[in-house]
Structure 1
Amino acid sequence: MPYATDSFPDFTGTFLDRGRLRLLDCLGAGAFGKVYRALDTKSPNSNPSYYAVKCLRALEEGTREHCFQIRELDNHNSVSDHPNIITYHKAIFHDDFIYVVLDFCEGGDLFDKILQTEFFYRRDDRVRNAFLQLIDAVAFCHENGVYHRDIKPENILCSKDGSQIYLTDFGLSTQSGTSTTHECGSMEYMSPECIGKEFGYTPHRRYSTRTNDIWALGVVLVTMVSRRAPWAVAMTTDVFFRSYLEDADHLGRSLPGISAGACTILKKIFRLEPRSRISLADLQREISELESFFSDELFPDSSSRHSPALQRSISSLGSTPSNEIGALRIDDEDDIFS
């Protein structure tokens, strides 16, 4: 799928911050920006220091997209002090681009770690350690009034040995506890109310951004244990989600390798009524006490009866009712400016 970043120039070799940073290789590209590894030119040659620099095209002031962009910087900066949130250093505005300077993680993202079969496979200690860190990071965000809205393995970075994880990419985050911006995030990780097409949700009905994040955590946990997604989209048009609604125990049958105890926790996360979902505090406790995430059944070969194989996902800004767009640009009627 083509990205807007396909038209970006090659920033390799670019100097920033009065020559302090030199952009080296491109680490990755997404729908909204490219990320480069940058050398701190003031660091010693014998022990060089590196940063990650996210390159964004500066968008027209007053537009909805510009609001998301500026809010990303503010929200990330406000929660940057947590040990499991990637450190935000500064934003450099130059010409038509914004360069966001962040800590560099040598271990890549959680998506890559998941697909390295041996890293999490039947390693309760590793799954528990990483997932508890992620809960801590999300809880800190919520305690500080920031709701991520795009929690997924691609937005979770890892240390080189995988022992530490860091939540990143606050491009879709909000400071509003409720929102009418539906389909915001990555489809596989969205809650039914965020999708907003079924179960009584309409484009004008608000949903909880807090419980939407909790839903996404459940999907991440599934991917860590099974290397699969529970469904492609949480709608009745998806055969796996529909089967789950008809019989919650179908989750364990479609995700071989997950223990009954882990499925019990997941069913508390994947409750259709957002207000009845497990809290982060209770989730943290139950994950800590869970004996094992894995059952005795080995991972199967690819089969149509099992849930979708894990794939990298695409983030979306979502949609907001057209009659609210004007209000979003001038006040805090909705989550764009709140």
Structure 2
Amino acid sequence: HIEQGRLILLSILGSGAYGVVYLAYDCLLSTRSTPAYFAVKCLIREGVTPREKKFQDRELALHQTSSDHPNIVTVHRILEEDGMFFVVLDYCPDGDMFSLLTDRRYHGDETLIKSVFLQILDAVEYLHSKGIYHRDLKPENILCADDGRHVLLADFGLATNERRSSDVGCGSSFYISPECINPYFSSLVADGKYPTAQNDIWSLGVILINLVCSRNPWRVACPTDDTFRLYSKRNGLLGDILPISSELNDLLKRIFSLNPSHRISLKELRDSVVKMRQFGMSEKDLAKANPI
């Protein structure tokens, strides 16, 4: 029990580098017919290094600043008890987008793919308008409600308000941009720092492929990855190896520009997605496609 018995921690929903997330029952808001549940992130404060405390404080501050958006998980309040922070968050019963992708929830549903991706874009645009860059955009950090139709961005553990960062390798390997990986592609970043907004846009491109194809384009965007190495030499490659429309292939070329300064902007990306007629290959095109 925490908050003088108001919240009962029931079970563990997940855990990460800096804390554990619990499912909590709210005794004050619950009724017999309508129980009220929240997710509570527990952050240990005692015994952590000053550097870890700084990261925790940054995460809480940036998340609180942006949690009033409908597609960002709400921070309801932060409690401090027994040398720990308890962050009371929205509970999303459908879990994260990764689990729904595994169940092929979005597969072939063009209308749902567009709706969900635009929600993610709206959340990221809102963050960027506030000078916040997520740096860990991936399906595991996107929570779902209403059977996957409503999505909310979560986990601000790596978020920053730095427009350029020297934290190379920050994020998840499938989703980070090539200029964020050290030492590969360092020539694209003259001052040793990569632009964090463009790094987020790269991650969004991988998420869009996840939604359309239920797979990743590559394991990591560096020359040691065979698929990415081929893509870096011929940027039309994804249209040959993935069941995507020519429209989407053209858009991905702009998202996955190797030079971050040439990468598509969020506004251009949103406009392109709104106008997109077809994300995946049509049945006719699939029938004609040559297996690779």
Pair 1:279-2:265 in alignment:
yes
Which residue matches 2:170? 184
Quote the residue 2:202 is aligned against.
215
2:31 maps to which residue?
Answer: 44
Q: Which residue of 2 aligns with 1:103?
A: 90
**1:203 shift after superposition:** 11
Q: Alignment identity in percent?
A: 44
| AA matched with 1:271 | S
Mapping of 1:64-83 within 5 angstroms?
64-83=51-70
Q: Measured at CA, do residues 168 and 59 of structure 1 come closer, stay the same or move farther in structure 2, by a change above 3 Å? A: farther
Paired position in structure 2 for 1:228: 215
SS in 2 for 1:188: coil
User: How far has the Cα of 1:178 moved from its partner?
Assistant: 0.8
CA distance in 1, matches of 2:209, 2:235: 14
Does the aligned pair in 2 maintain the 1:219–1:229 contact within 8 Å? yes
Structure 1 stretches lacking a partner, 5+ long: 1-14, 307-338
**Equivalent of 1:125 in 111, 121, 127:** 111
Alignment partners' CA distance in 2, 1:114 and 1:204 = 38
Aligned residues: 285
How far has the Cα of 1:92 moved from its partner?
A: 1.8
Q: Cα gap change, 1:61/1:116 in structure 2, threshold over 3 Å: closer, same or farther?
A: closer
- 2: CA distance, partners of 1:150 / 1:68: 14
Asked if 2 retains the 8 angstrom alpha-carbon contact of 1:180 and 1:203, the reply is no
Q: Secondary structure at the match of 1:101?
A: strand
Q: What amino acid does structure 2 have at the position aligned with 1:56?
A: L
Counterpart-to-counterpart distance in 2, 1:23 and 1:58: 19
Taking the aligned partners of 2:185 and 2:23, their CA distance within structure 1 comes to: 44
Instruction: Tell me the SS of whatever aligns to 2:152.
Output: strand
- Give the unaligned 5+ runs of structure 2: none
AA matched with 2:68: D
User: Which residue is equivalent to 2:227?
Assistant: 240
CA distance in structure 2 between the partners assigned to 1:239 and 1:59 by the alignment: 45
Report the equivalent of 1:288: 274
Q: Which range moved further: 106-115 or 70-79?
A: 106-115
Q: Is the 8 A contact 1:59 1:65 kept in 2?
A: no
Q: Which letter does structure 2 place at the counterpart of 1:207?
A: Y
TM-score of the two chains, using structure 2 as the length reference: 0.92
Q: Secondary structure at the match of 2:221?
A: coil
Q: TM-score, normalised by structure 1?
A: 0.80
Q: Look up the equivalent residue of 1:102 and give its one-letter code.
A: L
What is the rounded CA distance, in whole Å, between the counterparts of 1:91 and 1:99 in structure 2? 6
Greater relative CO, 1 or 2 (CA 8 Å, sep 6+): 1
For each residue in 1:155-195, what CA deviation from the matched residue of structure 2 results, as whole angstroms up to 9, or x when unmatched? Answer: 00111322111001001000111111111111111111111
Task: Look up the match of 1:206.
Answer: 193
Mapping 1:81-100, distance limit 5 Å: 81-100=68-87
Over the aligned positions, Cα root-mean-square deviation in angstroms equals 2.0
